[in-house]
Amino acid sequence: MNIKSAKLIVKDGCLICPKCGRGKVLKLNPETRAKDLTVFCKVCKQESVVNIDECLCLSACAT
């Protein structure tokens, strides 16, 4: 199994596709945590497996 680790990008409270960098694949809340979550990008039509250990989004964390 080939495991590639990359920094996840968040824009406007949404996780951006780690493969193409254009599609929004998941809406994030401050409490969002996930391990081995499969997300699908409608733009590049590919699946990615992501791990979210801590809040990635400053705008989602703002109260």
pLDDT in tens, 5-63: 667 888 888 899 989 999 999 898 888 888 999 999 999 999 999 988 876 655 445 43
48: number of Cβ within 10 Å:
19
Ramachandran class of 15: left when φ > 0, alpha when ψ lies in -120 to 50, beta otherwise:
beta
Residue 61 parent element (H or E): helix 58-61
Hey, what are 8's tokens? 């996840």
Cβ neighbour number for residue 17 with a 10 Å cutoff: 23
* Backbone phi and psi for residue 27, each to the nearest 5 degrees, phi listed first: -85, 130
